[in-house]
Amino acid sequence: MAKLAGKRALITGGTTGIGLATARRFVAEGCRVIITGQNEERLAAAAKEWDQQVIPVLVDVRSLANLEALAVRVKEEFGDLDILFANAGIGYFSPLEQVDEALYDNQFDINVKGVFFTVQKLAGLLKEGASVIVNASAVNEKGASTGSVYFATKAAVRSFARSLAAELAPRKIRVNALSPGLVRTSFQDKLNLPQEAVDGFANYVMQTAPLARLGQPQEIANAALFLASDESSYMTAADLVVDGGYMNV
Ligand SMILES: NC(=O)c1ccc[n+]([C@@H]2O[C@H](COP(=O)([O-])OP(=O)(O)OC[C@H]3O[C@@H](n4cnc5c(N)ncnc54)[C@H](OP(=O)(O)O)[C@@H]3O)[C@@H](O)[C@H]2O)c1
């Protein structure tokens, strides 16, 4: 039996990488999915893969008006929601002295404000027993040179899972963080870092993580499926770290 048969999900940032892999996994398990992205071309390219099971919606998560319009569209298409995966995010790395206000604001607007208001605007459509997943990162309890702003956004996202789990519990809605380690996606092309720095970090992870490799988007999608399905029915406010052991060893 399909694990998400008859369910309906919203995945923000479903055009590439982890979000797209999760949409594929959810559809394969019988779920109808709305994916969002802010880039029209990537959204159209992702949606081409499906016929009716996946509906693409153009949304910039920095815009509350866009998120309100998304809620209206979700209501029209699905009525209500079983699964919300607030996944859209980006990482900008920069030395302390080079972080300007625009970099800081944009990073927090996408990763923190975007996640918070995605959950707020969609909360009214969540069914009793729904699952909310917020995409944090294995680095949410860590620090690193040039990563101060990005890492802080992910600490905030992990924190949201704790408080929102408490707030939505009376409706039997579970809220968990999903924290990937380093996963090869287009995320690495947008980091604002020279290629040798990106490769250097990847090599460091591969040398230190017990599994000695980077993750695949499908492996994060498998974990998202677990959190989305009833198989994780006793989990809320938790952080599911999927990082090849990097953070713990
Ligand atoms: N890859 C990793 O190593 C890693 C590790 C830990 C955590 N994560 C987290 O995983 C999530 C997904 O990352 P990924 O690796 O799959 O990267 P990705 O392939 O670059 O995907 C990012 C997604 O977010 C969307 N997005 C970015 N800015 C947006 C905005 N302003 N409004 C709406 N959508 C926006 C992108 O849409 P467009 O295509 O329209 O731009 C895209 O669909 C992020 O939250 C990231 O922080 C990734």
Q: How far is the CA of 103 from the centre of ligand 1 (A)?
A: 16
pLDDT digits (tens, 9 = 90+) for 75-111: 999 999 999 999 999 999 999 999 999 999 999 999 9
53 within domain boundaries: yes
Say how far apart CA 163 and CA 167 lie, in whole Å. Answer: 6
Q: Give the burial class of 124: count Cβ atoms within 10 A of its Cβ; 0-12 exposed, 13-18 middle, 19 or more buried.
A: exposed
Say how far apart CA 249 and CA 237 lie, in whole Å. Answer: 23
170 within domain boundaries: yes
The count of structural domains within the chain is: 1
Q: How confident is the model at residue 62 (pLDDT cuts 50, 70, 90)?
A: very high
- Residues with beta carbon inside 6 Å of ligand 1? 13-19, 37-39, 42-43, 59-62, 87-91, 110, 135, 137, 180, 182-183, 185-187, 190
CATH of residue 24: 3.40.50.720
Give the predicted TM-score (pTM) of the model.
0.98
Q: What is the DSSP string of 156-191?
A: HHHHHHHHHHHHHGGGT-EEEEEEE-SB-SGGGGGS
Which of the residues are catalytic? 150
192 within domain boundaries: no
Q: How far is the CA of 87 from the centre of ligand 1 (A)?
A: 7
The domain of 222 spans 8-187+216-241
Contact predicate 232/174, CB 8 Å: yes
128 within domain boundaries: yes
203 within domain boundaries: no
Q: How confident is the model at residue 51 (pLDDT cuts 50, 70, 90)?
A: confident
Q: Which residue has the tokens 């690193």?
A: 144
Contact predicate 201/182, CB 8 Å: yes
Q: Which residue has the tokens 């990847």?
A: 202
108 within domain boundaries: yes
197 within domain boundaries: no
